[in-house]
Amino acid sequence: MIRSQYGVNFRRHDGRTYSAPDLAGSPTTRNLGIVMEGASDREARTIARAAAQQYGIVEPATPVYRYAFRDITGRLTVVDTDDLARAEVRAAAAPSAAAAEFLRAMGGFERAIDARYERFLAEVGRDEAEDLHTTVLTSMITGVLTPLCAWLRQRRGPKAFESLFLSPAYFGPVRPA
């Protein structure tokens, strides 16, 4: 059995996905996997932030918990992720090697997924970034691309989805499975 669609991304029987991986170091994304992961995480963080506010949960003073709270509520900053990339900051903030590794991974995820998704929304959605986010979620959850394709087409022209995401390798010669 081969799963040919996951959310808004497609996969060929030989494993090729519709969108290509982003270039190393890219500050934004055109990878549908990152778009979907970023959209899911953004929504989860919105819910967590609202719950923290509703129940009066405040940011902890202890560094490792403070970073975790900021991550969970979508409040990690560029300064935070830059700090988390530095071993000496992680070592000072974490009570153990495992906690330091957790902080390293947290900062890396923020840079690789969440920050790239936010940049994607700003670039593609501009003043309508929230509407684009909602449309991405709708298409992702339902597996129906029509709303997302229509949204992009209305703002960016014909074949906007393809122009933004299609990897040239997707329709290339079939590779043996």
When pLDDT is averaged across residues 138-157 and rounded to a whole number, the result is 95
The model's pTM: 0.90
Looking at residue 16, what is its pLDDT?
Answer: 87
Please tell me the distance from the alpha carbon of residue 91 to that of residue 103, in angstroms, as a whole number: 9
Residue 90 lies inside a defined structural domain of this protein: yes
Is residue 170 in a domain? no
**88 pLDDT above the threshold of 90:** yes
pLDDT value for 176: 62
The domain containing residue 120 runs over which residues? 5-165
Is it the case that residue 2 has pLDDT exceeding 60? no
Q: Is there a contact between 39 and 134 (Cβ–Cβ < 8 Å)?
A: no
- Tell whether 126 is covered by a domain: yes
Task: Summarize the confidence of residues 48-65 as an average pLDDT.
Answer: 98
pLDDT score for 134? 98
pLDDT of 156: 96
Sequence-separated (6 or more) residues with CB below 8 Å from residue 12: 4, 170, 174
Q: What is the mean pLDDT of the chain?
A: 94
- Beta strand 9-10 with 5-6 is antiparallel
In a domain, 174, yes or no: no
Does 46 map to a domain? yes
Any domain includes 173? no
Number of Cβ within a 10 Å radius of residue 29: 26
Q: In total, how many domains does the chain have?
A: 1
Q: What is the DSSP letter of 171?
A: T
The secondary structure element, H or E, covering residue 10 is strand 9-10
**Which pLDDT score is estimated for 41?**
97
**What average pLDDT does this structure show over 60-76?**
98
User: Is 177 within a domain?
Assistant: no
Among 123, 130, 89, residue whose Cα is nearest residue 106: 89
In a domain, 175, yes or no: no
